[in-house]
Amino acid sequence: MVFFLLRNSFWLPVLSVVVGLLAGLSSAGLIAVINMALANQDHALTALGWIFAGLCMLLLLARMATAFLLIRIAQDVIFDLRLKLSQQILQTSFSRLQAIGPARILACLTQDITTLAEALHWLPMLCVDTAIIASCLLYLGWLSTPLLVLVLLAMVLGVCGFRLIENRALHGLKMAREADDILYKHFRSLTQGMKELKLHELRRDAFLSKHLKVTAKDYRKHFLKGTGFYILAGSWGNVLFYLLIGIVLFLLPDIREASTRLIEVMELEISGLPAWLEIRPEIVRGYCLTILYMISPLSALMDGLPVLARGTIALKKIESLGWDSREAEPLKPNGPSPFPHPAELELRGVSHRYHREGEDRPFTLGPLNLVLQPGEVVFLTGGNGSGKTTLALLLVGLYVPEKGHIQLGGQIVTNANRENYRQQFSTVFSDFYLFDSLLGLHGKELDEEARAYLVRLQLDHKVQIENGAFSTLDLSQGQRKRLALLVAYLEDRPFYLFDEWAADQDPVFKKIFYTELLPALKARRKTVVVISHDDAYFHLADRCLKIEDGILNESTSDTLETIKSTDSQVKKRLPLAPGFCSE
pLDDT digits (tens, 9 = 90+) for 404-417: 999 999 899 998 89
pLDDT confidence band for 514 (50 / 70 / 90): very high
In 3D space, the residue among 122, 222, 127, 211 whose CA is nearest the CA of residue 169 turns out to be 222
Domains of the chain by start residue, with CATH = 2-323 (1.20.1560.10), 345-565 (3.40.50.300)
pLDDT tops 70 at residue 571? no
CA distance linking residue 455 with residue 463, whole number of Å: 10
- State residue 230's pLDDT score: 79
Compare 199 and 223 and report the one with higher pLDDT. 223
Compare 214 and 282 and report the one with higher pLDDT. 214
pLDDT tops 80 at residue 272? no
Compare 394 and 81 and report the one with higher pLDDT. 394
Compare 557 and 344 and report the one with higher pLDDT. 344
pLDDT confidence band for 570 (50 / 70 / 90): very low
Q: How many residues does the structure list for the chain?
A: 583
- State residue 582's pLDDT score: 38
Tell me the mean pLDDT in the region 332-358.
82
List alpha helices for 267-385, DSSP H. 272-277, 281-319
Compare 119 and 537 and report the one with higher pLDDT. 537
Whether 110 and 181 have beta carbons less than 8 Å apart is answered as: no
- State residue 577's pLDDT score: 40
CA distance linking residue 308 with residue 305, whole number of Å: 5
Compare 541 and 71 and report the one with higher pLDDT. 541
- State residue 377's pLDDT score: 95
Query: Which of 23-37, 45-59, 420-434 has the highest average model confidence (pLDDT)?
Result: 420-434
The pLDDT tens digits for 17-48 are 777 778 777 877 887 787 777 776 555 556 77
Amino acid (1-letter code) at residue 181:
D
CA distance linking residue 237 with residue 209, whole number of Å: 41
CA-CA-CA-CA dihedral for 169, 174, 176, 182, to nearest 10 = -170
Average model confidence (pLDDT) for the chain? 80
Tell me the mean pLDDT in the region 192-197.
76
CA-angle at 98, arms to 531 and 333, nearest 5°: 80
Whether 189 and 207 have beta carbons less than 8 Å apart is answered as: yes
CA distance linking residue 193 with residue 185, whole number of Å: 12
In 3D space, the residue among 551, 537, 329, 524 whose CA is nearest the CA of residue 420 turns out to be 329
pLDDT tops 80 at residue 75? no
pLDDT tops 80 at residue 498? yes
Pairing of strands 362-372, 345-355: antiparallel
CA distance linking residue 348 with residue 369, whole number of Å: 5
The pLDDT tens digits for 304-335 are 777 888 888 888 888 877 666 666 777 777 77
Tell me the mean pLDDT in the region 447-474.
90
CA 182 to chain centre: 15
Tell me the mean pLDDT in the region 362-378.
90
pLDDT confidence band for 337 (50 / 70 / 90): confident
pLDDT confidence band for 256 (50 / 70 / 90): low
- State residue 278's pLDDT score: 58
pLDDT-above-90 percentage for the chain: 20
Amino acid (1-letter code) at residue 288:
C
pLDDT tops 90 at residue 273? no
pLDDT confidence band for 64 (50 / 70 / 90): confident
- State residue 347's pLDDT score: 93
In 3D space, the residue among 329, 439, 443 whose CA is nearest the CA of residue 95 turns out to be 329
Identify the weakest region by mean pLDDT among 61-70, 174-183, 218-227, 364-373: 61-70
Query: What residues have CB less than 8 Å from 16, skipping those under 6 apart?
Result: 65, 66, 69, 70, 73, 124, 127
Compare 262 and 141 and report the one with higher pLDDT. 141
pLDDT confidence band for 356 (50 / 70 / 90): low
- State residue 482's pLDDT score: 92
pLDDT confidence band for 253 (50 / 70 / 90): low
